[in-house]
Amino acid sequence: MATRTDASTRREQILKEAARLFAERGFHGVGVDEIGAAVGISGPGLYRHFPGKDAMLAELLVGISGQLLTGGRRRVAEAGAGAAGGPGAVLDSLIEGHIDFALDDRPLITLHDRELDRLRDSDRKLVRQLQRQYVELWVEVVRDVHPELAEPPARAAVHAVFGLLNSTPHLSRPKLPGRTATAALLHAMARGAFASAAEAAAKA
Amino acid sequence: MATRTDASTRREQILKEAARLFAERGFHGVGVDEIGAAVGISGPGLYRHFPGKDAMLAELLVGISGQLLTGGRRRVAEAGAGAAGGPGAVLDSLIEGHIDFALDDRPLITLHDRELDRLRDSDRKLVRQLQRQYVELWVEVVRDVHPELAEPPARAAVHAVFGLLNSTPHLSRPKLPGRTATAALLHAMARGAFASAAEAAAKA
DNA sequence: CCCTCAGGTTAGCGCTCGTTAACCCATTTC
DNA sequence: GAAATGGGTTAACGAGCGCTAACCTGAGGG
């Protein structure tokens, strides 16, 4: 029989392909037949693994939001505990983690801020809550590094930097510099953006 | 009879409501009946003004892209001609224009990078071409201000800053600082992001 | 006074989509 | 060796969609 890891493969395979298709053509733009075809089964076979199309999107979005949040918390705990490098190191770790995610799971990042409104109310509330906690985590760290920033502009700045970091899906692959170069570029830009936000706030 | 400007009002009204609805729930998520209802007529009455639902989206996207490009070109010509303030002033003008657009036409900005793939091939090609020219305009100006930046990272940086500036639709309205404060914040962040990108490039 | 016509209306067609029903077949379990 | 079960199939249904057809109306223009 299939091993434990093989048994979960089919579900994960479906989720992965669904994420790609949803990101490419939008939730309403892809049919269940296409998702099935992408994993080699056809149409209603998916209903052996998921109660419906909505459930796939919900599981994807909840998974992404949760992963981002727990990963961020882990990094804050780790980088904060050592206290080597000061609060700046914590922010660097957060940025690095988000960049890794944006570069490695591009379809998921795309879905994350594009298809939230297609969820059932309860799922949407959950995802929103996870997202909000993730933002608050960032806001605290950013204000630790830049105490001149009041909370509302800090929150706006965090959202803006998310926009910056999540811009990678818009770039056509071949024109990009290498992955590490891109990551370094985005990292520098994020830090610079925060620094300038703090400067502007201090001046005003 | 209706005057010339009144005659165009209904069309514009439809486009405006369609943009809002498309941005809120996605192109496939909105029916023609809803668009009609939003302007006080119902369903198929829209076909007196547009050949189809696709045509509304196409007109919106082409309009946005064209407006951004011509506005950008105008600003480059104006700010570049005076030569007062050097190349930095040109970049500031570009940033300012983009921020105005992002803050004043939030649904359009959302559509702009979200629903491009729902267009007919010819329309999509046109929009892509306009977008590319707009990016190239920015790349030239940015490299004028930061000559250390090679072209590929400059292009990536421009895309990233677009993501930053276009993040405003994600922010819930009431929590934002005032419009001018938000604009100033975004402006500072954009400049800082470019500067840091150039710094990082010079170091590498 | 009729004609035209812009700009609506409602009814309904045809298609696509998500979902269910009914059936099938390996493989495991007792 | 039968029975149960996981994972798949095809057929078909019902709803919703974009769009067309056919009809209506009120305001100019000759």
Whether residues A170 and B159 touch (CB distance < 8 A) is answered with yes
State CA A131 to chain mean position distance. 9
Flag whether pLDDT at B172 surpasses 80.
no
pLDDT interval class at A35 (50, 70, 90):
very high
What rounded mean pLDDT belongs to chain B? 92
Among the residue ranges A3-12, B37-46, B54-63, B118-127, the one predicted with the least confidence is A3-12
Q: Work out the minimum CA distance from B134 to partner chain A, whole angstroms.
A: 15
Written as six digits, the tokens of A167 are 């811009």
Whether residues A160 and B186 touch (CB distance < 8 A) is answered with yes
Q: Does nucleic acid strand D have an atom less than 7 angstroms from the CB of B26? A: no
Element (H, E) at B109: helix B106-112
Flag whether pLDDT at B49 surpasses 50.
yes
pLDDT interval class at A1 (50, 70, 90):
very low
Q: How far apart are CA B168 and CA B89, in angstroms?
A: 23
List the A24 CA – D7 C1' distance (angstroms).
28
Q: Tell which residue, B189, B113, B163, B170, has the closest CA to residue A134.
A: B170
Flag whether pLDDT at B140 surpasses 80.
yes
Interface of A with B in 163-202 (CB under 8 A): 163-167, 170-171, 175-177, 181-182, 184-186, 188-197, 199-201
How much of chain A exceeds pLDDT 90, in percent? 84
Flag whether pLDDT at B12 surpasses 70.
yes
Q: Tell which residue, B135, B114, B120, has the closest CA to residue B19.
A: B114
User: Which nucleotide is nearest, taking the CA of residue B54 and each C1'?
Assistant: D18
**CA closest to B185 among chain A residues:** A197
Interface of A with B in 140-169 (CB under 8 A): 152-153, 155-157, 159-167
Whether residues B193 and A190 touch (CB distance < 8 A) is answered with yes
Q: Work out the minimum CA distance from B13 to partner chain A, whole angstroms.
A: 24
pLDDT in tens, A143-191: 999 999 999 999 999 999 999 999 988 877 777 789 999 999 999 999 9
Q: How far apart are CA A181 and CA A178, in angstroms?
A: 5
In chain A, residues with a C-beta closer than 8 Å to the C-beta of B34 are none
A-B Cβ pairs (cutoff 8 Å, strict): 146
What is the rounded end-to-end Cα distance, in angstroms, of chain A? 67
Q: List Cα–Cα distances, A139 to A152, A166, A197, B23, B189, in angstroms.
A: 9, 17, 13, 27, 16
Q: Work out the minimum CA distance from A13 to partner chain B, whole angstroms.
A: 24
pLDDT in tens, A61-87: 999 999 999 999 999 999 888 777 889
B86/A contact by beta carbon, under 8 A: no
Instruction: Find tokens 């421009």 and name the residue.
Output: B158
DSSP structure string for A18-57: HHHHHHHH-TTTS-HHHHHHHTTS-GGGGGGT-S-HHHHH
pLDDT in tens, A89-117: 999 999 999 999 999 999 999 999 899 99
Chain C positions within 7 A of any protein Cβ atom are: 6-12, 16-21, 27-28
